[in-house]
Structure 1
Amino acid sequence: MNIRGNFHSELQLLKTKIITLAEMTEEAFILSIDALHNQDVQMAKRIIVKDKEIDRCENEINNQAVLMLAKQQPVATDLRMLISAIKITNDLERMGDNAKNIAKSTVHLGDNHNLIIHYAIKEMRDVALNMLKVVVEAFREEDIAILKSLAIMDDEIDQAYGKLIKEMLKERAVNMDKNQYILQMTFNARYIERFADHITNIGESIVFLVKGEAYQLN
């Protein structure tokens, strides 16, 4: 295989690693909200520890991308792939941080709080997971047409977040003794909202990869 062939094999391997990182992030996100609902402090602690694996994976991908940039000095689509790889990986790592923060909230609340997790948390989670599936598929196939649904889903999450905030403010006005619960629900909704924002960023990076131009999806 010639040098160019080797380079494209490395690009494909890099792409595969990014998809694997997305799967790791998705798993952390799902488990963190499961732990929150189930008051599973031990699971939450495991998620916090496993976040280091996401960090290591991010570093490995970024180091590989930078090395390929330095060695091959690629142009056109190949250059855009490496730039996009670095940007997408950074967003995935930040998404992992949001999952970790949800797990920390579970630890903070403890395993015997007897509080009902606000229904909007699961609603936002489901929409965010659908968004993640869309961008992974778009990245795998380099198909930007399917990204059109991202803005609609991101708006759904923003609306649910706003509704939760309003309800928590009303709750705080009449139940000051639930202040910690109210804060944690607000924080967790914010973590999910940020998780979704990073997915939208990934979608925009995919548009750049395919079309070579900046584009705001929302």
Structure 2
Amino acid sequence: MDSTQPQHTNRQYEEDLRGLRAGLLKMGGLVERQIAEAVDALVNRNSEHAREVIARDEEVNRMDNDNDEQAIRLLALHQPTASDLRFITTGLKITTDLERIGDNAVNICERTLELNEVPQLKPYIDLPRMAEIAQSMVRDSIDAFMRDDTDLADQVIARDDEVDLLNYQVYRELLSYMAEDPHTIGSATRLLFISKYLERIADHATNIAEMVTFMVKGKMIRHDETRKRGT
């Protein structure tokens, strides 16, 4: 054996695993903050705050790359098996969902900047509630991942129905605004987009929660139609 090749000890391996865990946890915390601040910028019509969220997306993208590189390094250098292999491959997928959550927070801010150029159409009630639920889903899905907690993951998956219902309520309300007054179409359409972005954030959190079940139990439930029907 070539003695010039680096020898990877168990200690190095554990340190690399901890590094990936820490990176994913930090990224999860950042995108959760992005959701909260994006909706705060919307509700308070704060364009400066919205621009700060947009600018911070570069940090989310950097974390995405860093976590991918860490996971690939673990696979290449340590050739993990069994539960560690599932953890690392799940981490690779989770970082993609987190990055897309960050993108949707940016999308909310871009629509907010446009909405702030015109008078506010209506008080924001359902959208902040959607954001609160979606944000909690992101937080709990990452917690479930870190703790191998499939019960918490199941709770996240179930909560997605609440966001879908609120999204439908927003859709119906804004549709009535547009039908009654065509001048509201521009603002109402942007609010519909924001509602959809929040619904997508919840979907990505659901994806993460479903992957937790795969990681812990080795069971893929993402396309399980019987589960979706609750049977």
Give the TM-score, by structure 2 length: 0.89
- Correspondence for 1:100: 106
What does the per-residue CA deviation read over 1:72-107, in whole Å, with 9 as the maximum and x for residues that have no partner?
221111111110111000000000001000010111
- Correspondence for 1:154: 160
Letter in 1 for 2:106: K
Q: Following TM superposition, by how much is the alpha carbon of 1:111 offset from its aligned partner in structure 2, in angstroms?
A: 5.3
- Correspondence for 2:80: 74
2:57 corresponds to 1:51: yes
Q: Following TM superposition, by how much is the alpha carbon of 1:117 offset from its aligned partner in structure 2, in angstroms?
A: 4.2
Q: Following TM superposition, by how much is the alpha carbon of 1:69 offset from its aligned partner in structure 2, in angstroms?
A: 0.9
Q: Calculate percent identity across the aligned residue pairs.
A: 31
Letter in 2 for 1:132: V
Cα distance in structure 2, aligned partners of 1:117 and 1:55: 33
Higher helix share goes to which structure?
1
Counting only pairs closer than 5 Å after superposition, residues 86-165 of structure 1 correspond to structure 2 as 86-110=92-116, 113-165=119-171
Q: Following TM superposition, by how much is the alpha carbon of 1:108 offset from its aligned partner in structure 2, in angstroms?
A: 1.2
Letter in 1 for 2:139: K
2:19 corresponds to 1:13: yes
Structural RMSD (CA): 1.6
> Does the Cα contact within 8 Å between 2:108 and 2:194 map onto a contact in 1?
yes
> Does the Cα contact within 8 Å between 1:128 and 1:195 map onto a contact in 2?
yes
Cα distance in structure 2, aligned partners of 1:50 and 1:178: 31
Cα distance in structure 2, aligned partners of 1:141 and 1:151: 16
Q: 1:74 to 1:122 in 2, by over 3 A?
A: same
Letter in 2 for 1:175: D
Q: 1:35 to 1:111 in 2, by over 3 A?
A: farther
Cα distance in structure 2, aligned partners of 1:10 and 1:73: 12
- Correspondence for 2:33: 27
Letter in 1 for 2:62: R
Letter in 2 for 1:182: A
Give the TM-score, by structure 1 length: 0.94
> Does the Cα contact within 8 Å between 2:86 and 2:215 map onto a contact in 1?
yes
- Secondary structure of 1:214's partner? coil
Letter in 2 for 1:159: L
- Secondary structure of 2:152's partner? helix
Task: Name segments (4+ residues, structure 1) moved above 6 Å.
Answer: none
The higher radius of gyration belongs to 2
- Correspondence for 2:212: 206
* Structure 2 residue runs without a partner (length 5+): 1-6
State which of 163, 168, 174 in structure 2 corresponds to 1:168.
174
* Structure 1 residue runs without a partner (length 5+): none
2:190 corresponds to 1:191: no
